[in-house]
Amino acid sequence: MLSQLRRIVQDVAQEPSLESALAGLVRNVKQALRTECCSVYLADYEQQHFMLMATDGLNPHAIGKVSIGFSEGLIGWVGQREEPINLAQAHLHPRFKVTPEVSEDCFSAFLGCPIIHHRKVLGVLTIQQSDSRIFNEDEESFLVTLGVQLASVLVNAEMRKMSSGGTASAQQNSQMQGLIGAPGIAIGEAYVLQPASDFDAISLKHTDDPEKELNRFYRAVKVTKAEFNRLAERMSGHLPADALAIFDVYHQLLDAASLGNEIEAQIKQGWCAKSALKLVVERFARQFDDMDDPYLRERGTDIRDLGQRVLNHLLETEQRQHRLPEHVVLVAENVSASMLAEIPRAQLVAIVSLKGSVNSHAAIMARALGIPAVMGVDELPLMQWQGQRLIVDGYQGHILVSPADAICQEYRTLISKDAELSARYQAELHLPAKSSCGHDFSLMVNSGLAIELETTQSEFTNGVGLYRTEFPFIMRSRFPTELEQVELYRKVLQGYPGKPVVMRTLDVGGDKPLPYFPISEENPFLGWRGIRLTLDHPEIFLVQIRAMLKANIGYNNLHILLPMISDLAEVDESLRLIRQAWFEVDDEFNGENIVAKPKVGVMIEVPSIMFQLPELARKVDFCSVGTNDLTQYLLAVDRNNPRVGNLYDAMHPAVLRALNQLGQQAQGLQFPISICGELGGEPLGVLTLAAMGFNSFSMNHSNLAKIKWLLRRIDMAELRLLLPDVLACQSPKQVRVLVQRFLDQKQLLNQLRA
Ligand code: PEP
Ligand code: MG
C-alpha cells in the first residue's frame, strides 16, 4: 500500500500541468482501490465553492463546470468538518445535493476526504461505488494518507501554474505569503541561487529547442565523466579495486546505451534537459527501490547520486547564463552568508528565502544589512522566478510576482515614505540615548553577520554588545588560522577604541553549518552547537581565544562571551581553557604584562541556565540575554522552521514573564545583564524590556537610530505603568496591542511602522 501511495503522489508531482496531474490521480486511485469512481474538487476561496477538477466515474463533461458551494452538499460538508465522511447511502443523507450534471445516480457509497495544507482546505477527494456499503478502514486510511501527501504537491502545482503556465495577466500581481524576515520594501529582479541542486526542487518544463537542450545535456555528461576520472584518480591507492569499479559503472550508466539514451529520448519528446534527467533518474531509482534484493535496492542510491552530479553541472551552466540584475532580489532555498557575499552590496535590495523563519540567521543578516526579507515561502518551484520582477514587502511578509506598473508605483510611494522616516531617525543618531526624563540607556551594536565591517556608527554607540565570530569561519573553506583571526579581531577592537567589544566564541551548528565541518543531526538546534562543539574541540576554542587575547593587546576593550551554555560545568571548563590560553599568550610575550585578562560573560539563551543565575554570577562578570534562542527553547519552536513560524514569538507572555524574572534577579544579584537578541532592536520589544528595567541593549546597526529616536521620547515613569498589564496578557497579540496603544497615545506609532 505504501509503495502504491508513493507512486500515485510521485506521478502527480511529475505531471507538467495541474489538469493532467489530477486526471492521472483519479485514474490511479480508482484503480488502486478497485472502486467505481474517484473525483477531486478544488476550493476556490474567491468564489467560495469547490470546483470539480477531475473525475473518473462521473460525467467527464462536468469537469471545470460543476461547482458546489462551501456550505452545500456532501462535498461542502467534508470541507466544513475538515474530516473524512464515509456513507453507505449518500443520497439518503440530509446534506446530499442533487447535481444532475455529474450523473451520480448510480452510486450509493461515498467516501470524501479533505485535502488540507497549513490548516486550509484545498479540496476534497472522493471515491464512490454502486454498492451500499461503508468503505472499510484500509480504504479510508488510504484516502486520508493520500490527502495529506497530496496537499503539498497540489500547492506546488498551483504555484507552478501561477509562475509559468498562466497568462501574462494572470501572472501579474500574483502574491505569495511568507513570514516577515526583515522590515522594509524593495522592488527588484529575482536572482535565484541554487547551491545544492535537488530533484525535488526541479519542476517539469517543456522546451521549444530540444537541440539546444541535448547539447546542454551532452556537455553536462562530459563534465561529469571528467569529474569521475579525477575522483577515481584521487581515490586510487586509498580504495580497493572493487570499490573503484563504481566509477566504471557510473561511466557506463551515462553512456548512450543506458540512462543517457533514455534521457535523450525524453529531450527529443520535448522535455528540457533538467526535466528529462529528473524523469529518467526518478523512474530508474524507483525501480531499484522496489526490488527485494538488498544489493540491487542500494543501486537506487547510485542512480540518484549520479543524476545529482549531472544536475549540478546542468544548473551551473544555467546559473552562468543569468546576468546579475541591477536591483537584485536574492531568492534561494536557504539564503546563506556566502550567498550574500556573492552579490555586491549596492545591488542587493531584498532577500527571499524559501526556508527559514523570523529569527533564522539569514533574516538576522538581512536586518543587519538593512534590507527587507521574506522567509519561509515554502514549496515554490525556485528557478521559475529567475528574472521576474518582484516586490518584497518585509513589513507584511508578502511577495508580489510580476506586479503591474500601477502597483509598483504605489509601493514606490511607500518606499519613499520609509526613507523619510529613516532620515528623521538618523538626524538624532549623534544625540545621547537618554529618555525624555533623563534616564540613560546603553545602546550597542550586534556585529559580524553583515558582510562589511560595521564600524561606521561606532562613535554613536556604547560599543559592540555581540560580535558573532562565526561569519568569517563560514566564509572560508577551512578554519581560519590564529594569525588570520588576530587580524580580523584587531580591526573590530580598533574600530571601538575605549568601548567594550563583546566577542562571542564560535557559535556554529543549528542553522549555521560550517561548509568544511558538516554536521548531520536529527535536531541540529538541540544538538552539537556553540560551546558544546568548541569544548569538544579545544584546539578550535584555544586558537580562537588566543587570537582574541593577542588582538586585544594595546586596545584592552575585549570581553568574551560564551554561547549556548546550559550547564555550569561548561562555564568552568571554558574558564579553564581561557586561563590556559591566557598563560600561553602571556608566555609568548615573555610575561611583559601586556596581555589583559578580559571580562567573561555567558549568553542566557538556554532556559536551564536562567535557573542558575546566582551560581553563574559568582563565576563570570556579566551575562547577555539571547532572546532569539531563549524564545525558541522556551516555546519549543524551531526558529528556522517556517511551518511553526507563526508560533515563534518573543512577545509571547511566557517569554516576557521569564525575561522579567531574569531582569529582577540579575538586579538583585548586581549581575550586569544586557539584551543582545533581536527583541531589543524592535520598537515594541525594547519598550517592553525597558519597562521591566533593562537598560542595556545590543542590536543590528540598521535598528540603532530608530531605537534611539524612540527611547529619547519616552518617559520612564509612564512606561513602567504599562508593565503589570503587559505581564497579565494572555497572548503576544494582546501585548502588541497594549504597547501599540501606548505609542499611539504618545503620537509615536504613525512614525514607527511598529
Ligand atoms: C540569540 O540567540 O538571541 C542570539 C543573539 O544569538 P544568535 O541569534 O546568533 O543565535
Ligand atoms: Mg543564540
The residues whose Cβ lies within 5 A of ligand 2, an ion, are: 605, 626, 629
* Residue 229: per-residue pLDDT: 79
Domain map of the chain by residue range? 2-170, 174-196+324-403, 199-321, 438-751
DSSP bridge partners of 669: none
Under CATH, which number does the domain 2-170 receive? Answer: 3.30.450.40
**Looking at domain 199-321, which of 1.10.274.10, 3.40.50.300, 3.90.105.10, 3.90.800.10 is its CATH number?**
1.10.274.10
Q: Report the 10 Å Cβ neighbour count for 289.
A: 18
Q: For residue 192, which amino acid is it?
A: V
Q: Report the 10 Å Cβ neighbour count for 651.
A: 21
* Residue 518: per-residue pLDDT: 79
Domains 174-196+324-403 and 199-321 share a fold: no
* Residue 82: per-residue pLDDT: 94
CA distances from 729 to 43, 565, 635, 722 (A): 37, 30, 16, 11
Ligand 1 atom 8: residue of nearest CA: 628
Nearest atom in ligand 1 to the alpha carbon of residue 629 is: 2
d(CA 676, CA 659): 13
Q: Which residues lie with the beta carbon below 6 Å from any ligand 1 atom?
A: 364, 466, 468, 507, 605, 626-629, 676-677
* Residue 170: per-residue pLDDT: 43
Ligand located closest to 626 CA? 1
CA distances from 273 to 213, 277, 302 (A): 5, 6, 20
Distance of CA 625 from the midpoint of ligand 1 (Å): 9
Who contacts 398 (Cβ-Cβ below 8 Å, separation ≥6)? 175, 176, 177, 178, 374, 391, 392
d(CA 373, CA 227): 37
Ligand 1 atom 6: residue of nearest CA: 626
* Residue 424: per-residue pLDDT: 95
* Residue 201: per-residue pLDDT: 67
Report the chain's terminal Cα–Cα distance, integer Å. 52
Task: Write out the H or E segment, with its range, that includes residue 55.
Answer: strand 49-56
Nearest 5°: phi and psi at 450? -75, 150
Under CATH, which number does the domain 174-196+324-403 receive? Answer: 3.50.30.10
- Choose the catalytic residue: 49, 117, 313, 361: 361
Cα 556 to chain centroid distance, Å, stands at 38
Written as one string, the DSSP assignment of 628-687 is: HHHHHHHHT--TT-GGGGGG--TT-HHHHHHHHHHHHHHHHHT--EEE-SGGGGSHHHHH
- Burial of 714 per CB tally in 10 Å (0-12, 13-18, 19+): buried
**Given 3-state DSSP classes, what are the helix, strand and coil percentages for the chain, each rounded to the nearest 5?**
50, 15, 30
Nearest atom in ligand 1 to the alpha carbon of residue 364 is: 8
* Residue 177: per-residue pLDDT: 85
Who contacts 75 (Cβ-Cβ below 8 Å, separation ≥6)? 41, 50, 68, 112, 124, 126
C-alpha cell at 399: 511577495
CA distances from 393 to 175, 186, 399, 408 (A): 11, 7, 6, 12
* Residue 206: per-residue pLDDT: 81
d(CA 224, CA 305): 11
8 Å CB contact between 281 and 217: no
Regions in the chain scoring below 50 on pLDDT: 163-172, 451, 453
* Residue 669: per-residue pLDDT: 98
d(CA 301, CA 667): 58
Choosing from 506, 605, 610 the residue with most ligand 1 atoms within 8 A of its CB, the one to mutate for a pocket test is 605
Annotated catalytic residue 361: yes
Buried/exposed code over 368-399 (b: 16+ C-beta within 10 A; e: otherwise): bbebbbbbbbbbbbbbbbbebbbbbbbeebbb
CATH 3.20.20.60 correct for 438-751: yes
Distance of CA 529 from the midpoint of ligand 2 (Å): 10
d(CA 676, CA 664): 17
d(CA 265, CA 133): 47
